[in-house]
Chains A and B, each alone.
Chain A
Amino acid sequence: MELHVLIVDDSPAMRNFIRRVLDLSGLEVGLCLEASNGEEALRVLEDHWVDAVLTDINMPEMDGEELLRQMSAHPVLRSIPVLVVSTDRTEARIQKMLTLGARGYVTKPFAPETLRDELVQSLGGGDGSN
């Protein structure tokens, strides 16, 4: 099984880094798509069947919080697991993102294993949103 993912971050360097981490993680990554904000991410998700979304929170145009909100309200996209990858480590923020439907939360900077483990865990949970 190949894993198809979408990486959403306004920093190209961070998107590259996450991509490298996934490549080296031992996971079999197929399609690895990128978007620089929530709006772009939604456009990509309209056409591409991905298994997971990794998203930053603070981004121009549409931030990660709104992306989660829109995905949760979408009949198809709401079943795609979302993993938040953010520098924000405040408890309130983490809780908020999880309440909005995020399956996991990784704070930057992160150890490569942490990202991999959180991603695998967020995939495994099945879909309770139906």
Chain B
Amino acid sequence: MRKTRVLIVDDSAIVRKLLADALSGEDDLEVVGTAPDPFVARDKILTLKPDVLTLDIEMPRMDGLTFLKKLMHYQPMPVVVISSLGQAGCQTTFEAMRLGAVEVLAKPGGPYSVGELRMDLAAKIRAAAAARLRKAPIEPLVKPDPPPPAPILGGSTVIAIGASTGGTEAIQEVLMRLPANCPGIVVTQHIPAVFSLHFANRLNEICPMEVKEARNGDTLATGRVLIAPGNFHMLLRKSASGGLHVSVQDGPRVCYQRPSVDVMFSSVAELMGPRAVGVILTGMGADGARGLLKMKEAGARTIAQDEASCVVFGMPKEAIRMGAADQVTPLTRVPAAILSQLARIAR
């Protein structure tokens, strides 16, 4: 089998070594080179022809975003962003995802241990290598017109959305096009801790609904989206008052993931039965497929993103294979599909 060729771009010699060491035990991955800045990186990209790049986006001499724009123009390839957890780092990271980077990992050191790095880096690189590159939208984001209101539903209904590789952009596409009066939504995206907070805040600025990183006990209601925080599972729970809230908790990884989509979907299946819509979006692996099947078996409506619009057709593929998806649809039609499923529940 041909190995996936990886080029590491980072201004810190220590981080370059940490990343290379973390990959040294992987038989299917090969670090073909490292570069301390974008200029050397450009040379090595042209000569070494790597399959995947890890990119520190805060570097001297040329900023990482400018480099990424040029890379995506001249030599498009999957990029795993390695970012610090600072405010600026998080913002730059989401801009990088918009420009076409497909995965993000926290820079080793600080709260993020080398052990966790070893566990996550190889998986992120494999996911990136499997990614289908989108034509990067270089122009600034344009907010779509506000969508028409959702059907009025008696009683509580919940929408549950799960995603991984390519999911930050896909979730944004969906949430931007759902109306402010939409039933409560729970979202699990595989994303490192801290980034989830920035992800939620960013969505909150551009989406009609209120979007918030979930804290333990947060209530779910019409017009509100709760995003699972990185490194914790999020489960739907019924409150004593009869309302809904989420439980945010530690626990073993499920399908190598925490947060896990399966864990969230399963809780929704148990609690909501038919009064729910489950949506599985782009992502590597199989997390969420079983949970979506549980939702379907409990009577919920289920939607899977189609192959052509996925960055990685993994999780939806597995869901479709298991028979968990009522409907398979391109990303652009997912919001409409959700609304029409809600209308069916309302009838």
Contacts and interface: CB of A to CB of B under 8 A. Distances in A.
Interface of A: 1-4, 30, 47-49, 51, 75-76, 79, 124, 126-127, 130
A130 B98 CA distance: 15
A126 B61 contact: yes
A127 B70 contact: no
Contacts of B40: 1
Q: B-side binding surface: helix, strand, loop or mixed?
A: helix
A130 to B, nearest CB: 6
Interface residues of B, number: 18
Interface in B40-73: 40, 42-43, 46, 61-63, 65-66, 69-70, 73
B74 A127 contact: no
Contacts of B70: 49, 76, 79
A30 B45 CA distance: 14
A76 B39 contact: no
A4 B132 CA distance: 29
B69 A79 contact: yes
A48 to B, nearest CB: 8
Contacts of A49: 42, 46, 70, 73-75
A76 B46 CA distance: 18
A126 B63 contact: yes
Residue among A47, A48, A124, A130 with max Cβ neighbours from chain B (10 Å): A130
Nearest to B140: A75
Contacts of A130: 63, 65-66
Given A76-B73, A79-B70, A127-B62, 18 more contacts: A1-B37, A1-B40, A1-B43, A2-B39, A2-B43, A3-B39, A49-B46, A49-B73, A49-B74, A75-B69, A75-B139, A76-B69, A79-B69, A124-B61, A126-B61, A127-B63, A130-B63, A130-B65
A49 B70 CA distance: 7
Contacts of A4: 42
A49 B42 CA distance: 8
Nearest to B40: A1
Nearest to A51: B39
14 contacts: A1-B37, A1-B40, A1-B43, A2-B39, A4-B42, A49-B46, A49-B73, A51-B39, A75-B138, A75-B139, A79-B66, A126-B61, A126-B62, A130-B65
